[in-house]
Chain A
Amino acid sequence: MSPAERFYRLACRVVLPHGFVARFGDEMAELAQSRMMAARARGGFAGLGEAARLARDLITARPLTSIPEPPAPQRDNMDILLHDLRFALRALARRPAFTAVAAITLALGIGANTAIFTVVNAVLLRPLPYRNPEQVVVVNGTQGTRGNQGVVYADFVDWRARNTTFAEMGATRGQSVTLTGVDEPARLVGMFVSAGFFRVIDTRTSAGRLFNDAETELGTRAPVAVVQYETWCSRFGADSTVLGRTLTLNGTPFTVVGITAPNSQIPFGAPDVFLPIGYYPNAHGLDRGVRGIGVAARLKPGVSIAAAQADLAAIAKQLESEYPATNAGTGAEVQSLREQLVGGVRERLLIMLGAVALVLLIACANVANLQLTRGAARARELTVRAALGAGRRRIAQQLLTESVVLSGAGALAGLALAFGLTRVLVTLVGPQLPVDAQTIRIDATVLVFTLAVALGTGIVFGMIPAWHSSRADFGDVLRSRSGGSPTRGGVRNTLVVAQLALSLALLASAGLLTRSLMALERVDPGFDGSHLLTAQFRLPGTKYDSPEKIWQMFEQTTDAIRAVPGVESAALVRASPLSGNGESYPVAVDGQPVIRPADAPQVQTNSITAGYFATLRIPLAAGRDFETSDRAGSTPVVIVNKAFAEATWPGESAVGHRIKLGGDDWRTIVGVVGNTKHFSLNEAQLLQAYVPHAQRPQIFTSIAVRVRGDALAMSRPVIEAIRRVDRDQPVWRFRAMDQDLTAVTTSSRTMMWLTALFAVVALLVAAVGIYGVVSYTVSQRTHEVGIRIALGASARGVASLILKQGAVLVAIAVAIGLGASFAGARFLRSQLFGVQPTDAVTLAAVTVILAGVAIAACYIPARRAARVDPVEALRND
């Protein structure tokens, strides 16, 4: 290059904008040179004159101050995107450590979110598998202010006849039935239904037909049965001759008229066999005043739930005046089927989704901080690019592309992780969910969710660094030695404080759930569940058609079990604790004013045999246990629990008083026993009453057996003992009571562990965050620290200087985090037991944990600062 050309180029750079010179400099120099050569060829002073003209030309030229956006936007936007993508990939590949840490952090966050969302999608979002699923509702009974009660069959019949808002109504009652006349008697899960039930949920058949209306009604019932497809395959080997065959169920021959289509989705459980509700076997089970059936219904098109509710309320009013004795205070409530199915788990799932969302947010903050730190290191690169004509918007766009590419990579890895996590989740929580575990899978909705989360994540953590880089004063950057911009420390600190605060809120939730679980596990069920075996059986009503026959069978069975070696004691109980079975009746107390049944206190009532309290080790507080003399014909007796006795006769013995349970006889209290938990461990203490089986024998009962050694190992000898009494009698649901006691806390335990897991991940990510920020400060302040040490500061003093910075951040985060915990506590309240959402001990404990981990994370860079060699630090100048 000639000196003249070099000078011309230099002049161009001085006079004209960088971008313009970058683009046109070469061509301009070429043109200028050809001019000069032509002028020199003319000789004399022509060269000087041309030089003067070129100089004037440069000064008067008025190029635009920035490079115009290229024309033809569409094609070029695509080019820019491709360019940005290629550039992003190169930029990320240049820093494999950063890229790996960021992508793994994001993969964890996105994977956990995808997995939890997969469950949420299957349970809460996916439409139920019925035609117009929004029309399918459940009708529950109400009594006074109590909702969610069973429905009285007679009421159902009247609702069905008089309503104007339902297209179809069906009744259903699940109950196990005994199949005999085969090699081994078996228990089948039966569902007693009206024909309308199938029409509500669009049940189809693979062979034969479903019930017609006449077959299922009480007056015109016919002994027909429909077998569930899956049962037909597993129990009957998909034998086509089953259709038309007779099955002996509960002692009655039923003709199989149909087999359902495969995968028929039956709400309220999957039965083996459907039977007409007219055959519901419990004595008086369908009488007016006796609750217990379930009602599924389909709204007429365009009818709202509220309208249907009002319709039924009007009918209930009519029934109340027609049957004042049984229907006083009885009403109905209409609920969508989905609400009925998922109402119990929705809150837990949403809390879990909230928790993983927080983890993702914390991960985003971390990656944003990593980006910022990297952005500072890249400041020179960006400055050079800006100097070469890249607009601020273009640079921000480029950085954002990098973030989205990064989160895209995180999403891919997260999705892979989610496939595994979903499987783990299904194993953990599947049994607690109201949907078929097989339907919990990653589908298109989940993929769209993951894509949206990835994109959102990329934008959230990419926006902050991009915005900052685009605002940076490039001149400052080029001048500064370190290449960092100190003002960005504020943003970094804010992000770290946010991470720590969110982590604290998560830790607090996990802590509260832990305390709640501990409280739940400390609950005294009121009985000793160890070495206690329970099982259930139901006598066929056709074979045991009188109370005497039933009682005789019960007595022989109890004796046979007691004779088994290894059995310490045995007794019968209609509904064993925590089995889910149980019934409650309004109580009337002799000598106290008569209250309407609807307003009377409900007493959980159980039928037992003598020795039940001893077998379960429930203490007798007053009076006596039942004796063999308490039998049919003798004085009706009852034993109540302490809660009932103290509530009804405070400061006085309950023994000798008389009570009446529902429509039963007046019974004399002969004893008072300890309180027990019946349906769940976190229930408020129930009022309880026990009546002797002998005085009220019912065909369904459970056995409770206290054994020496392993409870479940005794199942076989117990079955054989019962078979010796009746060889056709199936027995089912053998359970070890201590396992039941563990099982009732399972869902609380799962939730606690998941939340704790999320909280620990959040804490670790936040710890990495504060470590990164403090480390960065140390690297920025090496020079200053060097001077301090040179001037005589002690290593200790330097370390505490750095630690102080971390401590301030932690203190701010704790204040905000505690505030967030208080604010968020109401979401948790329904999940807590025996602990307040604002429990001081929990909050103090998690604060100590958070502060401890965070300060420990700061200690590493602080120590590094204390070891700075002043000579080294200052030499870098």
Chain B
Amino acid sequence: MADAESHLPLTPIVLHVLLALSDGEKHGYAIAQDIERADPGIPTGPGSLYGSIHRMLAASLIEERTPRKPAANEDPRRRFYGLTPLGKRVLHLEVERLAAIVKMARKRHLLDQVAARA
């Protein structure tokens, strides 16, 4: 397996795709909706989104899946994607990295300021 650390840090869109898939496999449209809900600042144009999906497939972070319970009204052209073990590990490492950053920020009371401003 490729070294998970070599993928860090992740670009925002890759992080969000991984996050979106962390609770189960989804098709591209659903991923886009997830990301929009989570962080509207992330550009999720079709080119960016599928370009990233393409690269993540190539890097074996995600893989194509057959959905476990295909919905009756599902468009059969839609492909489903899920995390590979490598993808899970990379996501885990990235979140840990971000958590460490947040912890450091909290120590310097940066989060208090944010909260105060809010």
Contacts and interface: CB of A to CB of B under 8 A. Distances in A.
A and B associate in one complex: yes
Given A53-B45, A71-B60, A61 B50 contact: yes
A45 interface: no
A784 interface: no
B48 A57 contact: yes
Nearest to A38: B36
B90 interface: no
A804 B100 CA distance: 82
Interface in A480-509: none
Interface in A30-61: 30-32, 34-35, 53-54, 56-61
A827 B53 CA distance: 65
A852 to B, nearest CB: 61
B55 A31 contact: no
Contacts of A16: 47
A698 B100 CA distance: 115
Contacts of A60: 47-48
Contacts of B50: 20, 24, 27-28, 61, 63
Contacts of A64: 54-55, 58
Nearest to B60: A71
B88 interface: no
Interface size class of B (residues with CB under 8 A): 20 to 34
A322 interface: no
A72 B65 CA distance: 13
B68 interface: no
Nearest to A32: B46
B45 A61 contact: yes
Contact of B46 (A23, A31, A71, A72): A31
A30 B54 contact: no
B95 interface: no
A68 interface: yes
Given A60-B48, A61-B50, A71-B63, A30 B75 contact: yes
Interface string B45-81: 1111111011101101001000000000001011100
A27 B47 CA distance: 10
A62 interface: yes
A68 B32 CA distance: 23
A28 B53 CA distance: 12
Contacts of B29: 27, 30-31, 34
B28 A26 contact: no
B22 to A, nearest CB: 19
Interface residues of A, number: 27
A260 to B, nearest CB: 67
B79 A68 contact: no
B30 to A, nearest CB: 10
Nearest to A21: B50
A651 B50 CA distance: 107
Of the listed residues A31, A34, A54, the one surrounded by the most CB atoms of chain B closer than 10 A to its CB is A31
Interface in A1-35: 16, 20, 23-24, 26-32, 34-35
A57 B55 contact: no
A68 B57 contact: yes
B50 to A, nearest CB: 4
B58 A61 contact: no
Interface string A190-209: 00000000000000000000
Contacts of B27: 27
A39 to B, nearest CB: 12
Interface string A655-694: 0000000000000000000000000000000000000000
Contact of B28 (A31, A35, A54, A72): A31
B54 A58 contact: no
A20 B48 CA distance: 13
Nearest to B50: A24
Contacts of B51: 61-63
Contact of B45 (A27, A56, A71, A72): A56
Given A26-B77, A27-B77, A57 B54 contact: no
Contacts of A72: 63
Interface of B: 27-29, 32, 43, 45-51, 53-55, 57-58, 60, 63, 75, 77-79, 84
Given A24-B53, A31-B29, A61-B48, 12 more contacts: A23-B54, A24-B28, A27-B78, A30-B77, A35-B46, A57-B43, A57-B48, A58-B47, A61-B45, A62-B55, A63-B55, A68-B54
Interface of A: 16, 20, 23-24, 26-32, 34-35, 53-54, 56-64, 68, 71-72
Nearest first, the 10 closest Cβ-Cβ pairs linking A and B are A57-B45, A61-B47, A68-B58, A28-B46, A61-B51, A24-B50, A57-B47, A63-B51, A58-B47, A31-B46
5 contacts: A20-B54, A24-B28, A27-B79, A53-B43, A62-B51
